[in-house]
């Protein structure tokens, strides 16, 4: 349920589809074609999330993520510190 709420409150996905649809849908696009495009987008998006969650739920994938979590956290933490130092050095 959290993923659904996050996707509803996060405008990036909606803005992406809005950008794509403005390139495909014109004032001359029929209602039937528009409905087909909307349902296709919903099907692709839902299929992606089902596949994504199913993949992350596999025991071998879950164990790999759990084992590497500490290393990934430290690496990205160090990268963020380095980027902060770089911004601080440029801000004179």
Sequence spans of domains, the chain: 1-57, 59-92
> Residue 40 — φ and ψ, nearest 5°?
-65, -45
Average pLDDT of every residue of the chain: 84
C-alpha–C-alpha distance, residues 35 and 15, integer Å? 18
Region 42-63 average pLDDT:
88
Q: What is the pLDDT of residue 49?
A: 83
The residues, any chain, with a CB within 8 Å of residue 44's CB and separated by 6 or more, are none
Region 62-82 average pLDDT:
94
The residues, any chain, with a CB within 8 Å of residue 71's CB and separated by 6 or more, are none
């Amino acid at each position: 349920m959290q993923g659904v709420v996050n996707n509803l409150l996060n405008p990036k996905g909606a803005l992406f589809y809005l950008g794509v649809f403005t390139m495909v849908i014109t004032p001359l696009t029929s209602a039937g074609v528009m409905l087909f495009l909307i349902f296709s987008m919903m099907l692709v998006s839902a299929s992606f999330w089902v596949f994504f969650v199913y993949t992350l739920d596999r025991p071998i994938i879950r164990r790999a993520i759990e084992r590497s979590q500490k290393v990934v956290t430290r690496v990205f933490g160090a990268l963020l510190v380095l980027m902060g130092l770089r911004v601080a050095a440029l801000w004179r």
